[in-house]
Amino acid sequence: MQINNSEPFNKLREIMATLRSPEGCAWDRKQTHRSLLPYLIEEAYEVVEAVENDDYRHLREELGDLLCQIVFHAQLASEAGRFTLDDSINEINQKLISRHPHVFGEKKDLKPQEVRDQWEKIKVNSGEKESVISGIPKSAPALLKAYRFGEKAGGVGFDWKDAGEVFLKVKEELQEIEAEIPSGNKESIEEELGDLLFVLASFARKLEINPEQALNKTLLKFSKRFAYIEKKVKESGRKFEEFSIDELEAFWQEAKE
């Protein structure tokens, strides 16, 4: 089937419609919104990875892959008569204008955090959201949700003043865990640990650090250093259990250097 040589975005839409047509691809015709979810999530994470690596060649590619998934979902919805991609675009256009009154209405020079707070207040006052902290996907990573809960609550004034205040709360939560450990009550310790993680997410937010990204960087660093330990163990011809913790720690320090 011939594809018209139209501008890139419309060409992508035409390609997707062709793939979904009776003359198109059996795999593409078989897909549903649910079956496509793993690919959508995977492409989103690949965009994140490209950004974190400052890899703009891959970012260009991954943004295209992510856009393909969006167009695919819109094509499915259009075929079912639910909505079109233009409906989605019109909706986000209206949303961007209504949530930036300082740009498209009375001009105001707002700081980034003031814009963020205004955004949350507009969503609540417009009735779009029943709760300030609604709208965060249940399937999102818990640490990311903790960050966003704090951000949303802070948008309407329920927040610590600065990072210093949050750090005092971090120390308080640590003391509560320390006091609870001797009890051996796993449920209580778990609750206190959850409180600490939540406060740490807010501490990161006040420092303008995304805790999810910070933890991912630490995990990457750990994996590289642990790979060095595994390499040294393998070279020795011995098994892991034959090494003392001090010997393994020495390898760890070598990896850091």
Q: For residue range 7-44, list pLDDT tens digits in order.
A: 999 999 999 999 999 999 999 999 999 999 999 999 99
The CATH number of residue 14's host domain is 1.10.287.1080
In a domain, 83, yes or no: yes
Residue 72 in tokens: 């695919």
Residue 178 lies in a domain: no
Please identify, among 71, 89, 107, the residue that sits at the C-terminal boundary of a domain. 89
Q: What is the pLDDT of residues 139-188, one digit of tens each?
A: 888 998 999 999 888 888 899 999 999 999 999 999 999 999 999 999 99
Model-level pTM? 0.65
The answer as to whether 176 is a domain residue is no
The domain boundary, picked from 56, 89, 122, lies at 89
Is residue 126 domain-resident?
no
Per the structure, the count of domains in the chain is 2
* Contact criterion met (CB below 8 Å) for 46 and 38: no
Main-chain dihedrals φ then ψ at residue 134, nearest 5 degrees: -80, 170
d(CA 176, CA 172): 6
d(CA 163, CA 31): 47
Instruction: Check if the beta carbon of residue 174 is closer than 8 Å to that of residue 120.
Output: no
pLDDT at 2 over 70: no
Q: Which residues contact 44 (CB under 8 A, 6 or more apart)?
A: 66
* 158 domain residue, yes or no: no
Using alpha carbons, list the distances in angstroms from residue 104 to 101, 107, 122, 228. 5, 7, 14, 55
Kindly state whether residue 37 falls inside one of the protein's structural domains.
Answer: yes
Among residues 59, 89, 119, which one ends one of the domains? Answer: 89
| Residue 244 domain-assigned (yes or no) | yes
Domain that holds residue 219: 213-256
Cβ-contact 166, 199 below 8 angstroms: yes
pLDDT in tens, 182-221: 999 999 999 999 999 999 999 999 999 999 889 988 999 9
Whether residue 248 has pLDDT greater than 60:
yes
Is the model's pLDDT at 116 over the cut of 70?
yes
Residue 190 lies in a domain: no
Residues with Cβ within 8 Å of residue 112, at least 6 apart in sequence? none
pLDDT grade for 4, boundaries at 50, 70 and 90? low
